[in-house]
A and B are shown apart, each in its own frame.
Chain A
Amino acid sequence: MGKVLMKGNEVIAESAVHAGCKYFFGYPITPQSELVAYMARRLPEVGGLFLQAESEIAAINMVYGASSTGARVMTSSSSPGFSLKQEGISYLVGSELPAVICNIVRGGPGLGNIQPAQSDYFQVTKGGGHGDYHIPVLAPASLQEIVELIQDAFDIADRYRNPVIIMGDGMLGQMMEPVEFTERPVSELPEKNWAATGTRGDGGPKIITSLELDADGLEKRNQHLQKKFAEMKEKEVRYETYKTEDADYIIVAFGTVARIAMNAMNKARQDGVKVGLIRPISLWPFPEKPFIETRDKVNMYISVEMSAGQMVEDVRLAVNGHAPVDFFGRNGGVVPTQEEIYHKIMMIAGGIQV
């Protein structure tokens, strides 16, 4: 199969099918409805099942049910709908159930608008639901990268028995790019011998629950979960760096914003300002290594986001006081331009007097 031209939302859906996802439960919301519509058409073709739930809350609980049987399952939404799923996500973590959940972020808070945003960063990385938990969050910047990361997301979910979030902004969902679905070898994953598929005289009933009434028992369960989170933090970090080796200034940006920032970086370099870029791909676990490697050499970091400043807090933690951290962002659905990012860099570098 050669390259095809697809929308980001369609690529997420098709990649999930390629990753062996047979079940999708969701509720449409702009700007990710094409994902739901594509699954409605596509899953019956591969012998899977699509079901439009009556609400996002119903959808996430259907995911809980399907996952309990060991099936690869996905749901998706956009900001307000994603908020509705939080209780279910917390239950998935508590019950140790794998699932992939997409959030194609739009402008908020509240009903906001349908334009692109990254303002759900806190929600996805810090735990939007209750309890002591973490969820790996992957943020693709191109449609081809979606193909890779969706496969990774299902693998990580199965490996740790934990949900995984794919976060993109509305632009990533709506834009079109050529993509190729390359088949890759199936990862070695633990057998799902915990799945509740009925007993056949081969042992006791399998119980999947997040309920644990005994305090000591629940603490023990939490310790077990924390051990998993620690392992994820060690093994599931993903990022890319561009021209950071000689950089005096480093932009930090993820998703589509990184692509805009890249042009600003190149333009600044043409004008003699040595700028580099760190692109976190996993937003949790947040990549600390590229900051530890550069923080004693650079003059300043600039976090560029489609929010009022959320990832910048993780950047500050990773830099840990070794260098100043500045921020530039647009929000409410406004996409930053390469010109204004360039302007910000040049102002910091002292090239523009205002």
Chain B
Amino acid sequence: MNQKITILTGHFGSGKTEIAINLALKERKNFERVAINDLDVINPYFRSREVASIFKQHDIELIAPKDQLASSDLPIVSGEIYRVLHDPRYRIIIDAGGDKDGATALGQYYHEWKGLEVEMIFVLNANRPYVSTLEGAIHTIKEIEKASRLKITGIVNNSNIGSETTLEDIEKGFELSTFLSKKLEIPLLYTGISSHLEKTAAHFAENHEVMWIKRYMKLPWES
């Protein structure tokens, strides 16, 4: 992978943030400077900015509204992105908000992308309402492309139902992602699977590209 900028989009609740965090941590091993840009203007909770301490620990730069603004109810993004966007030393991961509404925040950078290698990912969780069918997923992609003024360049299957995810859920999502990939002629890049399923999905991982996901967005009763 030599893309400098990866943008994660998808239906809200499809797991973009967990993928963004895991990807940032992984890329930190390959790049001297990694920045994660929390562009989520949709979710009030469970955003990249909640795990700021983990980024700090791994020397990853978090670009997000700061201090009081971080938990404000305002649809704001940080202007700091311009500091890293054209700096060739940076590997940048952008965690956009869900659906077309979240993707709208990307539209403003239309002129910035020119001359940059931008990978635009659609994260699919087939167990979420409205993207559990081919039509639903296509509709969501089209809306995101229109709002963001960008074309999706890759699909990531991140089908899960949280702690109760079974291999069947992953395979069902993989099937839908494959259909989607063929229909829209967009490559299916990999499948994100929670690391607690490493044994269950071992066989699947032998035959498919898999990114093991460690969960960071935890509830207070989850340890």
Contact = CB atoms under 8 A, between A and B. Distances in A.
A31 B13 contact: no
Interface string B100-141: 000000000000000000000000010111101000000000
Contact of A260 (B44, B128, B221): B221
A174 B220 contact: no
Interface string A16-53: 00000000000000110010000001000000000000
Given A3-B161, A114-B71, A174-B46, A260 B220 contact: yes
A128 interface: no
Contact of A263 (B45, B130, B221): B221
Contacts, number: 71
Contacts of A10: 129
A6 B160 CA distance: 11
A114 B162 contact: no
Contact of A6 (B43, B128, B164): B128
A7 interface: yes
Interface string A173-186: 01111100000000
Interface centre among B12, B45, B72 (most CB of A within 10 A): B45
Nearest to B46: A174
A337 interface: yes
Contacts of B13: 5-7, 176
Interface size class of B (residues with CB under 8 A): 20 to 34
Contact of A31 (B45, B72, B162, B163): B45
Contact of B44 (A3, A170, A177): A170
A228 B140 CA distance: 48
Interface in B41-80: 43-46, 71-73
Contacts of A41: 130
A352 B129 CA distance: 48
A113 interface: yes
Given A5-B128, A115-B71, A338 B220 contact: yes
A14 interface: yes
Given A114-B44, A171-B45, A337-B220, 10 more contacts: A3-B127, A4-B129, A5-B13, A5-B125, A6-B128, A34-B12, A113-B71, A174-B43, A175-B219, A256-B220
B46 A338 contact: no
28 contacts: A3-B127, A3-B161, A3-B164, A4-B128, A4-B129, A4-B161, A5-B13, A5-B127, A5-B161, A6-B13, A6-B128, A41-B130, A114-B71, A114-B73, A115-B71, A170-B45, A174-B43, A175-B46, A175-B219, A176-B162, A178-B127, A178-B161, A178-B162, A178-B163, A259-B220, A263-B223, A335-B220, A338-B221
Interface of A: 3-7, 10, 14, 30-31, 34, 41, 113-115, 170-171, 174-178, 256, 259-260, 262-263, 335-338
Contacts of B73: 30, 114
A329 to B, nearest CB: 14
Classify the interface of chain A: helix, strand, loop or mixed. mixed
A259 B221 contact: yes
Interface string B12-49: 11000000000000000000000000000001111000
Interface centre among A10, A262, A335 (most CB of B within 10 A): A10
Nearest to B164: A178
Interface in B118-176: 125, 127-130, 132, 160-164
Contacts of B220: 171, 256, 259-260, 335-338
B162 A4 contact: no
Nearest to B130: A41
B127 A4 contact: yes
A256 B219 CA distance: 10
Contacts of A337: 220
Contacts of B160: 5
State the 5 A-B residue pairs at the shortest beta-carbon distance, nearest first: A178-B161, A174-B45, A259-B221, A5-B161, A30-B44
Contacts of B72: 114
A5 B71 contact: no
B44 A5 contact: no
A260 B221 CA distance: 5
A170 B44 CA distance: 9
Contacts of B223: 263, 338
A178 B162 CA distance: 7
Nearest to B98: A34
Contacts of B132: 4
B98 to A, nearest CB: 10
B130 to A, nearest CB: 8
B223 to A, nearest CB: 8
Contacts of A14: 129
B129 A6 contact: yes
A177 B163 CA distance: 8
Interface centre among B127, B160, B163 (most CB of A within 10 A): B127
Contacts of A30: 44, 73
Contacts of A31: 44-45
A177 B162 contact: yes
Interface in B188-223: 219-221, 223
